[in-house]
Amino acid sequence: MALSQSALSELQEVFRSGEGTDFIRECVRVAMQELIDAEATAAIGAGRYERTESRVTERNGSRPRLLTTHAGDIELAVPKLRAGSFFPSILSPRRRIDQALYAVVMEAYVHGVSTRNVDDLVTALGGTGISKSEVSRICAGLDEAVGAFRTRRLDHVEFPYVYLDATYLHVRTEHGMVVSKAV
């Protein structure tokens, strides 16, 4: 579906005025909320206020879920059910930030940024911040993955090359000259 020239001009003006991030945030919120509602409808077997024979359970309100994205914080409503439980597949349990910010937190940890300074980094990227305990929990998963990689077995295949690494130090020779040697 193509937009008319006037609609494009209006969108361009919204972005120029600085309200574009609010517009994008609202678009992301609406799209994600529609996906959550569609998945809940499929799980229940009927839409909201709909009575069908295939209905499994009924909706029982919703609970708020804050999700931090590049566009900013998004407040979503996850439907509750009278019988059973429902959690949308597009969200991850016990994770309040999206995958991109999750990767930023891990990257900052790898580069030695303290857990307290990661909060400032997430705030600068448009979020409301992140607690140091959540940073530690995210990075604990990273530590497990690195540990598994470091302790993996290497005897399943032959490796035709051996790579050596060296550091160069300044060494005094027998003749009193200082030269750079690989160690």
Is the per-residue pLDDT at 95 higher than 60? no
- Has this prediction a pTM greater than 0.75? no
Q: Domain-by-domain residue ranges, the chain? A: 1-93
Q: What is the pLDDT of residues 117-145, one digit of tens each?
A: 877 777 776 666 677 777 777 777 777 88
The more confidently predicted of residues 97 and 53 is: 53
Contact 122, 69 (CB under 8 A): no
Q: What is the pLDDT of residues 2-49, one digit of tens each?
A: 556 777 677 777 767 766 677 777 778 888 888 888 888 888 888 777
